[in-house]
Amino acid sequence: MKFVSIVMGSKSDYSIMEESAKTLEKFGVPYELIISSAHRSPERTKNYIKTAEEKGAQVFIAAAGMAAHLAGALAASTTKPVLGVPMESGPLRGEDALLSTVMMPGGMPVGTVAIGKAGAVNAAYLAIQIMALGDDELKVKLQEDRISKAKKVELDSSEIETIL
């Protein structure tokens, strides 16, 4: 079965990363969510990637805060797409996580999204878009979602014009 793997560096990341899970559920995309640290449990993380790929993982979403670099560790161990979600934490409020996630060496890509909740949602959407490349039903769901978002914006803007 094809699915998206969500890997968090810490259980404290769950309150944000559940947004990825909710987004995947909204589209009916199967996912697996685990906690595995690139620094505290590197062997577990490496073994998990191999097992997840054998089970059908198509895309990995990796969330970590501070200078932890879970997304990079995943990218080093797979050729599947890896999407990194920097978590807001520490004195730099996620800017260190953003930089450590986005600054990958050439040939070792990590798709990096916004810090925090918006990033968690967008990582799920990107994973869905990747999965939709080979799934026409999922592609239609994405198109319908985009249309409904456009209609909402149109309604919101017409309300503004009425006020003006």
Residue list, annotated binding site: 10, 13, 40
Residue list, annotated binding site for substrate: 10, 13, 40
Q: Which of 41-55, 56-70, 110-124, 150-164 has the lowest average pLDDT?
A: 150-164
pLDDT of residue 150: 84
pLDDT of residue 155: 58
**How much is the average pLDDT of 31-52?**
94
3-134 CATH fold:
Rossmann fold (3.40.50)
146: left (phi over 0), alpha (psi -120 to 50) or beta: alpha
Looking at the chain, the number of H-run helices and the number of E-run strands are 6, 5
Count of beta carbons in the 10 Å neighbourhood of residue 136: 9
- DSSP per position, 109-145: --EE--SSHHHHHHHHHHHHHHHHTT-HHHHHHHHHH
Domains of the chain, by residue range, sit at: 3-134
Interval 59-113: pLDDT, tens: 999 999 887 789 999 999 999 999 999 999 888 899 999 999 999 999 999 999 9
Widest Cα–Cα separation across the chain: 60
The percentage of residues in the chain with a pLDDT greater than 70, rounded to a whole number, is 93
Reading the block at residue 6, the tokens are 């969500």
pLDDT of residue 59: 98
HSE-CB for 6 with a 13 A CA cutoff = 30
Residue 161 has pLDDT above 80, yes or no: no
